[in-house]
């Protein structure tokens, strides 16, 4: 068994762990306008990122947008996942492909589509102006709402497919039994479907939250130059500021917070699921 795992382990170490270790080493160096990077072993970049109010606000914005986008994706994705999982038509494979189809389109292309839809001369404003509903174009772009909409459009297929895989494993008889005993549809959902689907909720939420925390194209193209999240801030330090040590420190702060929150969230949902299983057994 170890021999089977070894090639994959070596590949992950080579392509993922080695660059991360190198990036961490860079984050301990110091920036110099003349030499670009001075070799050192200092936590100054991390202290600067924590002490600077601007980057604290960028981090708070990233957390709020990622949390809101994850929650919205869960609320929108659960009904679609349930419908897909319980579908018995011969069109189920086609519906699954339709759900997966947005994944074939790049994030930049999708963001460009939102620009065409939400811009001052876009389809929504043009329709509202043509109907006489508004007298001037609505500011639909370059705000938090546009960024959240763009992010949710990217991550929603991941949430739907993850939830559908788990819901499909829930026996229909459990729902039918609850309904036969007089439970209303919402009670069946709350007491039967949702507790059994918690592993899918946890897996989908973790995956989507990680993607939301690291979003770049939607934040830059739909949020505008004044809207800042951590991934664009990291890019700015590497490419525009040439401050690789500080950019690497920001990247590791983003990684650390994302990992911490996902582990805590997964553990909390896991405890809730295990407690529910014990209550059922009792």
Q: Tens digit of pLDDT for each residue in 61-109?
A: 999 999 999 999 999 999 999 999 988 888 888 888 889 888 888 878 8
pLDDT of residue 29: 92
pLDDT of residue 199: 86
Cα–Cα distance measured from residue 258 to residue 230, given in angstroms and rounded to the nearest whole number:
11
> Per-residue confidence at 281, pLDDT binned at 50, 70, 90?
low
- Per the structure, the count of domains in the chain is 1
Q: What share of the chain is helix, strand, coil (3-state, %, to 5)?
A: 80, 0, 20
What is the tally of helices (H) and strands (E) in the chain?
15, 2
Q: Is there a domain that residue 218 lies in?
A: yes
Q: Is there a domain that residue 220 lies in?
A: yes
Q: Is there a domain that residue 159 lies in?
A: yes
Q: Is there a domain that residue 25 lies in?
A: no
Q: Is there a domain that residue 3 lies in?
A: no
State the chain's mean pLDDT as an integer: 87
pLDDT of residue 279: 55
149 lies in which domain range?
A: 44-281
Closest CA to 217 of 231, 204, 206, 205: 231
Q: Is there a domain that residue 170 lies in?
A: yes
Cα–Cα distance measured from residue 88 to residue 173, given in angstroms and rounded to the nearest whole number:
15
Cα–Cα distance measured from residue 162 to residue 200, given in angstroms and rounded to the nearest whole number:
6
- Give the domain CATH number at 222: 1.10.3720.10
Count the Cβ atoms, other than its own, within 10 Å of residue 14.
10
Q: What single-letter DSSP state applies at residue 43?
A: -
Report the run of H or E that residue 235 belongs to, with start and end: helix 230-235
State the pTM of this model. Answer: 0.86
């Amino acid at each position: 068994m170890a021999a089977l795992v070894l090639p994959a382990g070596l590949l992950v170490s080579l392509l993922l762990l080695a660059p991360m270790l190198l990036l961490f080493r860079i984050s301990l160096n110091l920036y110099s306008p003349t030499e670009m990077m001075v070799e050192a072993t200092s936590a100054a970049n991390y202290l600067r990122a924590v002490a600077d109010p601007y980057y604290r606000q960028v981090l708070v914005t990233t957390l709020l947008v990622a949390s809101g986008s994850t929650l919205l994706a869960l609320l929108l994705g659960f009904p679609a996942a349930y419908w897909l999982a319980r579908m018995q038509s011969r069109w189920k494979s086609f519906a699954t492909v339709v759900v997966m189809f947005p994944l074939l389109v790049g994030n930049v292309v999708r963001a460009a589509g939102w620009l065409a839809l939400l811009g001052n001369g876009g389809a929504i404003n043009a329709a509202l102006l043509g109907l006489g509903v508004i007298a001037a174009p609505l500011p639909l772009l370059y705000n938090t709402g546009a960024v959240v909409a763009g992010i949710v459009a990217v991550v929603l297929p991941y949430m739907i497919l993850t939830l559908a895989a788990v819901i499909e494993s829930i026996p229909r008889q459990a729902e039918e039994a609850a309904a036969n005993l007089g439970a209303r549809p919402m009670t069946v959902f709350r007491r039967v479907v949702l507790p059994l689907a918690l592993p899918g909720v946890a897996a989908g939420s973790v995956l989507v939250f990680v993607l939301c925390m690291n979003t770049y194209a939607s934040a830059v193209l739909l949020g505008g130059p004044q809207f800042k999240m951590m991934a664009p801030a990291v890019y700015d330090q590497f490419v525009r500021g040439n401050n690789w040590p500080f950019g690497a420190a920001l990247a590791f702060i983003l990684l650390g917070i994302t990992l911490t929150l996902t582990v805590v969230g997964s553990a909390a949902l896991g405890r809730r699921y295990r407690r529910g299983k014990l209550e059922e057994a009792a």
